[in-house]
A and B are shown apart, each in its own frame.
Chain A
């Protein structure tokens, strides 16, 4: 039976973003909705980066902490382990130790860690601050400078601190994660502010703020779908950067990734539950449009990569 024409094409395209030098990775670049290869071009896979920290991950739940036992006390060892053993395509170094409530490490401490990690690995590096607005605007410009020539991603710039961070990313040829809080208009506004100061919109990665499965995932999901529709259907250029899901950080602090089966028998095995939680959160956001992810558990990354294999 003849059926009506159901395929749709769009006028807009998501910007492709290339990171790294020795080993490059590209994500974004599609001209259709997530995984709609039946009606458009999807030139690149989503990119998942393994998360490491500048300090030992004492507050990570056991299920994921134990994976990095013996390497997580040293960012260089940890990064090498991700690159060599886990075959990481990219690494995300979170400078959580610089947070005033953590170790309050200085910008110079951070610079040293960044330099050490950069010279130890070949895969692209994403450098994330501690999400402390003032401290990040002090630390990130210095590490951006130290990483000049490595074509990294620096993040996250927020409305309250974007100027110094974006200026440093621009001066040192890095890409930039721009984060706003779960609102398509705030997201658009921040991207406009960035372009107004001369930052190339094709070097932005939009972070509409992640949420874990069960903890507001539907908000992130719908904001991402709306941003992507604006980029493709309305051809809105400021909405065309690829999107980022900071999955690991949000998932590995909720109850579902920590409560034991003894405490909550109706929730089943903790190990599988926690790993699936991270993978499912990433897959949900991937279906909504995100192309760049930061994750923690190798098993969760493997599951998501397998999912991408079946979708691409």
Chain B
């Protein structure tokens, strides 16, 4: 269980020396309980208190870095079960499985799929984050050869080394020493040897257990053998089991502060059908998976999964914003209509989607209103005649278009006079109130 502020206070020196930056030991204890500061700020804390508090004040899901350099991704550190409570912290990694029994062409193609998977969506660069090499052959030599190829062709990419054989692990891991890899396949039977190999190569350990109790036992064992960077596979493969185990593991970590299950989760979701596999991967995205291992990475599948991950890991307290600029919808010409709206991402998506539907190419001016929707921005004084006029003038759109007509959202019809006053030579037209009126509106104008 997490300690309360008062429980923590009892373990502190109670000197109120202020060296931690807080006025009293009690104030410091309260901040510790809320995980808003760390114990190392107190120079006088006893070793015994450190041990007790260290355990209790560590983040409920241990942070682990997967991959290195600009390919590194952080996992763990989650603090909630539902995204409306607080932002989900570290997006899961998508990992493509390559088996050492696959032929060279398939291996090359898969490595290439990972390396070329990057897509820019709403200003974020999204990609397949890692590769899982699987020792399907059982042969250490073959496995080592695959590892060498992956390490040379995809340096820095996070790698899961999937084998239960210490020989296989030795052969493969030397290519990923200190590279943020995970040695997956550690069981109760092989733990001693495998953890030693992981330690020597400075990589994390992925435990393979059957059920939650066995998983908790195994993480404790790995920890006692000297590795604390652990990812958990509870053995869940069926979608219903993935939901059950992942939910209970996350609850154990967050609600019970149960350390043996306070690690990121790895899920294997391979299915015979790529589309269906995407849905099971989607379950992992929504429900607490940190590494999702898949058997294929088609571009259409990546796009759907990246988008889902982006949606789920958006901060619910900060409105998603899009960049202020003039967006081209379709292939607008100097005669195409110019519309304006605010930069709340949902507003942008809906408005641009409906313009797209109309099949009428257009210019869409998206104005920075700190991520507020049209009516809210207007009410907050961020979407005013003067500000709109300024934005239009500075946007440079006057050089792109021949006409001088601006279509504004119907809800802010009241602004038309103010805009015309500030924007000399322009005519303001009031568009529909709701975005779904845009196709009819634009089509009737174009006719």
In the complex, A256→B354 CA distance in Å?
Answer: 13
Interface residues of B in 249-291 (CB under 8 A from A): 251-252, 255-256, 258, 260-261, 274-276, 278-280, 282-283, 286-287
User: A283 touching B303 by the CB < 8 A rule?
Assistant: no
Question: Is residue B426 contacting chain A, with contact meaning CB distance below 8 A?
Answer: no
User: B280 touching A267 by the CB < 8 A rule?
Assistant: no
CB-defined contacts of A280 to chain B, threshold 8 Å: 278-279, 282, 304-305, 308
Of the four ranges (under 10, 10 to 19, 20 to 34, 35 or more), the interface on chain B belongs to 35 or more
- Given the interface contacts A215-B353, A283-B283, does A36 sit within 8 Å of B243 by beta carbon? yes
Interface residues of A in 1-19 (CB under 8 A from B): 1-4, 6-8
Of the four ranges (under 10, 10 to 19, 20 to 34, 35 or more), the interface on chain A belongs to 35 or more
User: A1 touching B258 by the CB < 8 A rule?
Assistant: no
Q: Which of A258, A275, A287 is B286 in contact with, Cβ under 8 Å?
A: A287
User: A273 touching B282 by the CB < 8 A rule?
Assistant: no
CB-defined contacts of B243 to chain A, threshold 8 Å: 35-36, 311
A sample of 24 inter-chain contacts (CB < 8 A) reads: A1-B220, A3-B258, A3-B261, A4-B256, A6-B251, A6-B255, A7-B248, A38-B248, A59-B357, A214-B121, A253-B354, A265-B299, A268-B299, A268-B302, A269-B298, A272-B301, A280-B278, A284-B308, A288-B286, A306-B276, A307-B276, A307-B279, A307-B283, A311-B243
User: A253 touching B353 by the CB < 8 A rule?
Assistant: yes
Q: Which of A131, A211, A267, A276 is B278 in contact with, Cβ under 8 Å?
A: A276
The 8 A CB mask of A226-254 against B (1 = contact, 0 = none) is: 10010000000000000000000000011
Min distance, Cβ B125 to any Cβ of chain A, angstroms: 12
B residues touching A (Cβ–Cβ < 8 Å)?
82-84, 119, 121, 212-213, 216-217, 220, 238-240, 243-244, 247-248, 251-252, 255-256, 258, 260-261, 274-276, 278-280, 282-283, 286-287, 298-305, 307-308, 310-312, 314, 316, 345-346, 349-350, 353-354, 356-357, 436-437, 439-440
CB-defined contacts of B279 to chain A, threshold 8 Å: 279-280, 283, 303-304, 306-307
User: A276 touching B304 by the CB < 8 A rule?
Assistant: yes
| Interface of chain B: mostly helix, strand, loop or mixed | helix
| Interface of chain A: mostly helix, strand, loop or mixed | helix
Other A-B contacts than A101-B439, A311-B243, 19 sampled, CB-CB below 8 A, are: A1-B216, A6-B255, A35-B240, A35-B243, A36-B247, A101-B437, A214-B311, A215-B349, A216-B345, A222-B84, A225-B83, A265-B299, A272-B275, A272-B298, A276-B275, A276-B278, A276-B300, A288-B286, A303-B276
A residues touching B (Cβ–Cβ < 8 Å)?
1-4, 6-8, 35-38, 59, 101, 131, 211, 213-219, 221-222, 225-226, 229, 253-256, 258, 265-270, 272-273, 275-277, 279-280, 283-284, 287-288, 299, 303-304, 306-307, 310-312
